[in-house]
Amino acid sequence: MILGAVLAGGMSTRFGSDKALAVLDGRSLLERAVEALAQLCDKVVIVGRTEGPETLGVECVPDTPRPGMGPLGGVAGALNHARDQQFASVLTTSVDSVGLPQNLLELLSPASAYLEKQPVIGHWNIDAASIAERILQSEGRHSMIAFAKAANARGVQSASTPANINTPADLAALEH
């Protein structure tokens, strides 16, 4: 079984407001991300938030070991939750990655693999949880690339690159 995890714990500093709740074509970025993973996974969770919109009916799980650890903290939280719930792997995306490839799961299977241009979009074996935790406990950068390399994950190219929304201008550009 595959757990889908939407990483939504960022501070949205460059965006200026809660990016997860920003609306694109009538739906929030959070709704779009949850819906995209729901088509590919057995269950979806939101990582890094204490609550999500009730209309989504999706469980929220915390970053590990604590908030503010960046995307890898969200991946670690998802991997720990997946292990506890006996999932085999986790498919991750960030809340601000719009337009995931239709064949994403096929591209990233078998786990562990990630999109080369956006390593936060990945398919991870749950045994990578200990690797993420070790990196997060170390001094220095807690980078997704360092995690991917330590987990022996394959970098995969995709014919289409999801949009990465960091600013209101990025969002506006997608609306046109």
- Give the pLDDT confidence of 142-163 residue by residue, as tens digits: 899 999 999 999 999 998 889 9
Q: Which helix (H) or strand (E) holds 28?
A: strand 27-28
**What's the pLDDT score for residue 98?**
94
- Strands 89-94 and 118-125, by their bridges, are antiparallel
The answer, as to whether pTM is greater than 0.85, is yes
> Which DSSP state fits 65?
S
Count of domains forming the chain = 1
Q: How confident is the model at residue 176 (pLDDT cuts 50, 70, 90)?
A: low
CATH number, domain with residue 118:
3.90.550.10
Domain of residue 122 covers: 2-175
Q: Are 48 and 76 in contact, with CB atoms under 8 Å apart?
A: no
Q: Collapsing DSSP states into helix, strand and coil, what is residue 68?
A: coil
- Give the pLDDT confidence of 16-57 residue by residue, as tens digits: 778 888 899 999 999 999 999 999 999 999 999 887 766 678
- Give the pLDDT confidence of 79-92 residue by residue, as tens digits: 999 999 999 999 99
